[in-house]
Chain A
Amino acid sequence: MRLELKHIHKHFGAVHANDDISIAVESGTIHGLLGENGAGKSTLMKILSGFIHRDAGEILLDGRAVAFKNPAEAIRAGVGMLHQDPLDFPPLTVLDNFLFGREDGFMQNRAGALADLQRFSRQFGFDLDPDALVSSLTVGERQQLEIMRLLSLGAKILIFDEPTTGISLPQKIKLFETLRLLAKQGMTIIFVTHKLQDAEDLCGKVTVLRLGKMTGQVTHPFTADQLVRLMFGQSLETRARASVALGEPILELRDICVADYRLRVPEINLQVRAGQVIGLAGIEGSGQRLLLRACAGLDQPVAGDIWISGARMNRQPYRDFLERGVAYLPAGRLEEGLVPGLNLTEHFILARRSREFFIDWRAAQDAAQSRIGEYSIRGVPASRVEALSGGNQQRALLALLQPNLNLILLEHPTRGLDIESTMWVWSQLLARRQRGAAIVFASADLDEIFEYSDRILVFSGGRVARALNAQETSVQQLGELIGGKGL
């Protein structure tokens, strides 16, 4: 199906989120949509898929003008969107979620749906238990579920809003294969991303947005530098990493076993010293999140001892971990970190952990204003967090961390962030490391693991490999370990 967007405009209050955007996509092609955080990519795609209404402009499908009142109408016309934040129902099972939107009539055809689900799972090599609760899945696995659901609804135009941020390298390779196959079958695919590499690998044509405006459109072949300049109006330079003298041991894990109802990872041993950065690599859902949450005091390990700065912390309440300078940054920003409905000022007050009883709103607002500047959050003190773009939500989360931390645990710290924001986040983290914090982070992005870790812990198939020295490990080696070879 041929798709044309013509002169699309969208305002949110004073923000001109889409300013005269025009894109044409031929069927059977993969069109990239690139732009920094807050550029307006998600907004444009939500307009196309009927989630929000445009202020002006036209949408043409095969030359026919359409106006979707809601996402259900869009999907009936063949436009399906995979959202940046998965739009599923966590308390229900995978199969229940898969059933949503199917038009089986009044009675659900569960057997048919199950067969579909299994077929798609095989096709992509996704490993989802149909009876598992969605709340127990990782963000990446939830995205996988949503991909399969949209395909099963018969979408002809598929919009992927940053689909690769949540999945591992092997899963990404599989996804790309599938996307190419789908394109070959005549599907129209729009691929929203920050990752230049993804755009180069996959897209025949790329449209770049910046601050709501279209800054350019390039056709294959194009260079990464070209894209960066269109995205940021300048080229970016990576800085060399300062070396840090290691300090006292901060975190010590002795024969830790973490588990949930479907996974059990025994015998994790690790020592992390002040100033050290540990990367947790592996296919998402291999136990990285369980370990991070155990170290944060949010879940109890099944066995073993956790020591933090020389104190045994088993079965201690979460607050004691906080008091010892432990912080955990979850991946689900709006589900387990930020409070939708509250604004930035309110978040900063809550995170302050002061004992004052009355709130001085004026002072709090000023403090929020300066924090917003410090962390370059695109928003105002009264912005509700759910109205921020994904990248700005991540900045807000970082801004909520206490000033002096000993141990920072992060789950996908730069998921969904553009290069500039990613570099900024890591400069913040590395500055904290300079001040003596130890950092443990999980990432599905091998480049990130290699670039920032001193040591790497590989999770695979319910096991953890001995910590590797990042300098002495090759991509090849790491890939094999993740795949379960040599473990």
Chain B
Amino acid sequence: MSEITQKPVFSKKTGFSADLLWTMGPIILALLLTTLALVAIGADPLKAYTTLWNGAFGSPEKLGSVIDAWVPLVFCSVGLLVTFTAGLWNIGIEGQIVMGAIGAAWVARTFDLPAEILIALMFIGGALGGAAWALLAGALKVYGRVHEIFGGLGLNFVAMGVTLYLIIGPWKRAGIASTSGTEPFRPAAWLLNFPGLTVGPVEIILAIISLALIYFALRGTLWGLQLKAIGKNARSAFWLGIPTSRHMLGAFAVCGVFAGLAGAEQASGVWARLIPAISGGYGYLAILVVLLSGFRAPLVPFVAFFFAAVSKGSISLPLDLQVDSALGGVLQGVVVLLFVLSQGVRAKWTQTLSS
């Protein structure tokens, strides 16, 4: 309580540009620290970064693969903006992506329809799959009093299990049961891609629309304000007459919808089938994206792009440099840690400024 009552009232110095500054600072510092780590293990930092850069932007295909990662990151971040606003840690987002992919795969395998209709249905199936799985985590929290972090983690494992079961069981490839994935979907279920890439215009536009939609919904609607109140003090929110349980379930469901869209997009656009690790870890990564964005929607596309570039760029590190590709993960992790740290410093700094 002391922390809440003593929090300074921030002055107007918290505009978009100040936010950008306070976000870039930790990134630069993280690069410095990673450089030190590289020097320590005897690698040439300059070469490592060039490799990283080229791995991400060296060719149109590589840039394509970065955007390929950017799309699911944005979808998931959009969903997480909603749950974070309501004060919920939706760690279960990974499982929700998986369930979205399964929903889409089921549609693709079940219906023989023209491409436009089939793909639309796949996205709807994905959204429903993700939402259902998220609602399960929500119900565990609201009715079962299971903290969403534990419920979500458990459900992630279950979702993985379900995928594996489907891939080597009912949906196995004719003749061979291989953990590499199901039979490819019929071509009508393939999302239109740019030539030579695994990403196309539909999902990019959909991701941008999703982000804009949630940005305005959280800012300008009663629903968004009510979620914010719940996130800051659920007891007071309930006292004010806000149906807190229903809103929490709703926040989970909305997040699940966007996670499901990410899953459907991965299944349809990238793999054209269901594979075991269909979530690609984008859910967990998106948690970092949202943290680093300071829960601000306008920063999400940039931060997501940075994370996508580092992820994809680091893939070529081991080939060229004998540096493990985990370097990308290290960089991402250090950035987020430093950012969270800088938020603390910033709060203190603003406090001394105002007094």
Chain A residues engaging chain B, CB cutoff 8 angstroms: 10-13, 51-53, 55, 83, 85-88, 90, 298, 318-319, 322, 328, 330, 334-342, 346-347, 349-351, 353-354, 356-359, 361, 383-384, 386-387, 400
Contact = CB atoms under 8 A, between A and B. Distances in A.
A322 B240 CA distance: 9
A356 B208 CA distance: 26
B235 A87 contact: no
B173 to A, nearest CB: 48
Given A52-B355, A349-B222, A337 B239 contact: yes
A203 B11 CA distance: 39
14 contacts: A12-B354, A51-B6, A87-B1, A330-B239, A334-B1, A335-B235, A335-B236, A339-B233, A339-B237, A339-B240, A342-B229, A351-B241, A357-B223, A358-B221
Given A357-B221, A357-B223, A340 B4 contact: yes
Nearest to B9: A387
Nearest to A346: B225
B5, B232, B236: most-surrounded residue (chain A CB, <10 A): B236
Contacts of A335: 1, 233, 235-236
A334 B229 contact: no
Contacts of B220: 358-359, 361
A223 B174 CA distance: 98
B236 A13 contact: no
A349 B225 contact: yes
B169 interface: no
A85 B1 contact: yes
B105 to A, nearest CB: 35
A53, A298, A358: most-surrounded residue (chain B CB, <10 A): A358
Contacts of B229: 339, 342, 346, 350
Contacts of A342: 228-229, 232
Nearest to B237: A339
Contact of A386 (B4, B225, B238, B242): B4
Contact of B241 (A52, A339, A353, A356): A353
B225 A85 contact: no
B4 A351 contact: no
Given A334-B4, A340-B233, 17 more contacts: A13-B9, A52-B6, A53-B352, A55-B355, A319-B243, A334-B5, A337-B239, A339-B236, A339-B237, A340-B4, A341-B232, A346-B228, A350-B226, A350-B242, A357-B223, A386-B5, A400-B240
A284 B221 CA distance: 41
A351 B1 contact: no
B5 A85 contact: yes
A83, A87, A342, A350: most-surrounded residue (chain B CB, <10 A): A350
Contacts of B223: 357
Contacts of B352: 53
B7 interface: yes
B164 to A, nearest CB: 39
B2 interface: yes
A52 B243 CA distance: 37
A86 B5 CA distance: 11
A88 B228 CA distance: 24
B222, B232, B238: most-surrounded residue (chain A CB, <10 A): B222
Interface string B212-236: 0000000011110110110011011
A353 to B, nearest CB: 6
Contacts of B233: 334-335, 338-341
A83 B214 CA distance: 40
Given A86-B1, A334-B5, A339-B237, A350 B225 contact: yes
B18 to A, nearest CB: 18
B355 A11 contact: yes
A10 B220 CA distance: 36
Nearest to B11: A13
A51, A328, A330, A339: most-surrounded residue (chain B CB, <10 A): A339
Contacts of B221: 357-359
B223 to A, nearest CB: 7
A386 B9 CA distance: 9
Contact of B9 (A319, A356, A384): A384
B4 A356 contact: no
Nearest to B238: A318
A12 B9 CA distance: 9
A23 B141 CA distance: 53
Nearest to A382: B9
A427 B258 CA distance: 52
A384 B238 CA distance: 19
Interface string B342-355: 00000000001011
Interface string B236-272: 1111111100000000000000000000000000000
Contacts of A88: 1
Nearest to A88: B1
A334 B235 CA distance: 10
Given A13-B11, A53-B355, A319 B241 contact: yes
Nearest to A353: B241
B11 A359 contact: no
A244 to B, nearest CB: 28
Contacts of B241: 318-319, 322, 351, 353
Interface in B1-39: 1-2, 4-7, 9, 11
Nearest to A329: B239
Nearest to B5: A386
A340 B5 contact: yes
Contacts of A11: 355
Interface string B294-328: 00000000000000000000000000000000000
A320 B333 CA distance: 48
B344 to A, nearest CB: 15
B175 to A, nearest CB: 54
A455 to B, nearest CB: 27
A86 B2 CA distance: 8
A180 B214 CA distance: 60
